[in-house]
Amino acid sequence: MIRRAVVTGVLVGAMWASGAEAQMGPGGGWGGGRRGGFGDRARFEEMRARMEALSACNIEAMWAILSFGVGLTPEQLDPLRGPFAEAWSKRATILALAEQADRPDWGAYRDELKDLKKDLDQRLKALLNEEQQKAFSKQMKAYENTFSRFPGGGFGPRGGGPVGGE
């Protein structure tokens, strides 16, 4: 026991004498490019813009809300398959172009995806009755507001508050 304490004391003393302790290296701040950090503010902003673009037209969430949240029957979902398949294909094309670009303008891609979502929303309004449209809008807003609750802004509408704005 005493031997272990002496050895530990000698090792700690040697570390202290040589200054061998964890020290902050260069590039602090936004991760310094190490251990999963963003590297710099520009890289962080690019990643944030990419996430905002990807969340601008979440077809999967829309379909899930219609299927499970609003509770449409298979017969009611059938006429929606065409518009959703078309939107899915257009979104895939937009994202493929973005991924192929050397320095993608995620803001422009986000705007294209928002326009795609608006078009899909208009087509849904023509196919859903008023009660279904209200239920869909409420649940979609709650889903989108989920991200605004996170510190640092999140990705999506700002405002915080409880999910669903209630």
- pLDDT tens by residue, 97-149: 988 988 889 899 999 999 999 999 999 998 899 999 999 999 999 988 886 65
Identify the residue whose tokens are 């172009």.
97
Structural domain boundaries of the chain? 41-144
Asked whether the CA dihedral 76, 79, 84, 87 is positive or negative, the reply is: negative
- Tell the burial category of 91 from Cβ atoms under 10 Å away from its Cβ (0-12, 13-18, 19+): buried
Q: What is the pLDDT of residues 63-82, one digit of tens each?
A: 999 999 998 889 999 999 99
Distance CA 24, CA 37 (A): 14
pLDDT of 157 above 90: no
Is residue 84 a contact partner of residue 59, using CB atoms and an 8 Å limit?
yes
Q: What does the pLDDT read at residue 163?
A: 45
Q: What does the pLDDT read at residue 115?
A: 95
Structure confidence at residue 24 as a pLDDT band (50, 70, 90)? low
Residue of 66, 82, 80, 156 whose CA lies nearest to 114: 156
Please state which of the ranges 13-22, 81-90, 128-137, 154-163 shows the lowest mean pLDDT: 154-163
Q: What does the pLDDT read at residue 79?
A: 92
Other beta carbons within 10 angstroms of residue 88's beta carbon come to 16
What is the average pLDDT score of the chain?
A: 78
